[in-house]
Amino acid sequence: MLIQIGMERIYPILNNVIPLLVVAVIVVAIVRAGREPLWKEAYRRLGRNRMAILALTVIGLYGLIGVLDSLGWQDSPTSDRMTIIDRMFTNVPKERTYSAPLAIVTTGEPKPHPLKGKHLLGTDGVGTDILYLTLKGCRTAMIVGGFTSLLATPLALLFGLMAGYFGKRVDDAIQYTYTVFSSIPDILLIIALMLVLGRGLFNLCIALGITAWVGLCRLTRGEVLKHRDREYVRAARALGLSNTRILLRHVLPNLLPIVIISVTLGFSGLVLEESILSYLGIGVDPGTGSWGNMIDAARVELAREPVVWWNLASASTALFILVLAFNIFGDALRDAVDPRLRSS
C-alpha cells in the first residue's frame, strides 16, 4: 500500500519532468556535437536543405507544445494544477455535445442547440474542444518517443559495445538474448508487459524501452566488429589503455552518427506504437491526452448519422505530420552525416 501511494506521488512529477529532461538532453547533444568537425560539416549541409529545416521546425513546434503542457502551477492550495496549454483554453466554453468544425449549432441532436463559442476543429461527445485534445496529445507523443529512447539507447549501446568488442562467450550470450527478444512479435510482448505493469504513461515507456533496444544493439554490434581491429584501437591497446576507456573514448564517438540517425528514425515508430496500444485500450490512461485515445473514441463515431469525422481526422493528421517530419529529418540527417548516402 505504501509503495502504491509513493508511486502515485512520483508519477505526476515524472510526467512533468520527463519532457523537460528530453529537451535538455537534445539541446546538450546538439551543442556538444556542434563542436566536432564532422558535425559542423553536417550542420552546414542541413542548413542548405529546406525540407530538413521545415521538418525540424515542425518537430520543434511539437516539442514546444509538449513543454508548455508540462509547465503549470496551482492558483491556490485547493485548486487543480493547470498547465500553460490548459490556461490557453480556459476561456473556450464547453458545449453540450458534438459540433462540427467552425459550426454554430450542435451536431447529432434531434433539435440542434446554439453553441456557446466557435471551435476550429469542433468538439467531441462531451463538448470538449478537439483542438485542445489534439494539443494535449503532443506532450504524450514527445514523452513516449523521447523518454523511451533515453531508456533503450544506453541499454542497446552497452550490450552492442560489449558484444562487438569482447566477442566469444559475451557475444554469444548477448546475441542469444536479443535473438529471443526478436523472435517474439513486439506488439505481443508489449501487450504482455502492459498487462503486468498496468496502464500508464510511465509504464508504457518502460514496456516500449524493453523491446526497442534490440535493433540498435544489433546495429552497434556490427559496427564495433568493424572498428575493433582498426589501427587506432590497436594503438590504444599498445599504449595500455583499459577496455572501458577504449570503448568510451575511441570506439563510441565513431558510432555516434549512426546511433543518432537510428534514434531519430526510431522516434516516429515509438509514437506510432503508443497510438496503436492506446487504440487497443492498453496504452496510456483514458484521462491522459493521447492521439491513440482520440482515435479509439472515434471508432463508434464513424457509425453515427451524421458521421462524426473530425475527432479521427484531427488526431490522425497530427500524428501523420509528426511522423513524416521525423522521417524527413532522419533521412536528411543521414545524408548530411555521410555524403556517400546523399539522395540524388
Residue range 140-162, pLDDT digits in tens = 898 888 888 888 988 999 999 99
Residue range 230-287, pLDDT digits in tens = 888 888 888 888 888 888 888 888 887 788 888 888 888 888 888 888 888 788 887 7
Q: Cell 540524388, residue?
A: 344
Q: Which of 338, 339, 152, 323 is nearest to 261 (CA)?
A: 338
Residue range 44-76, pLDDT digits in tens = 888 888 898 999 899 889 988 988 888 888 888
> Domain tally for the chain?
1
- Examine residue 119 and state whether it is found in any structural domain, yes or no: no
- Examine residue 293 and state whether it is found in any structural domain, yes or no: yes
Q: Are 249 and 162 in contact (CB under 8 A)?
A: no
What's the chain's average pLDDT? 83
Q: Residue 34 — pLDDT band, cuts 50, 70, 90?
A: low
- Examine residue 102 and state whether it is found in any structural domain, yes or no: no
Residue range 155-193, pLDDT digits in tens = 999 999 999 888 888 889 998 988 888 888 888 888 888
What average pLDDT score do residues 74-97 get? Answer: 86
Domain that holds residue 257: 18-92+129-341
- Examine residue 144 and state whether it is found in any structural domain, yes or no: yes
- Examine residue 250 and state whether it is found in any structural domain, yes or no: yes
What CATH number is given to the structural domain containing 142?
1.10.3720.10
What average pLDDT score do residues 123-141 get? Answer: 90
Residues whose CB is less than 8 angstroms from the CB of residue 23 and which lie 6 or more positions away in sequence, other chains included: 63, 67, 146
DSSP string, 188-211: HHHHHHHHHH-SSHHHHHHHHHHH
Residue 143 is placed in which grid cell? 514523452
Residue 101 is placed in which grid cell? 468544425
- Examine residue 193 and state whether it is found in any structural domain, yes or no: yes
Of 32-36, 80-84, 99-103, 179-183, least confident by mean pLDDT is 32-36
- Examine residue 115 and state whether it is found in any structural domain, yes or no: no
- Examine residue 9 and state whether it is found in any structural domain, yes or no: no
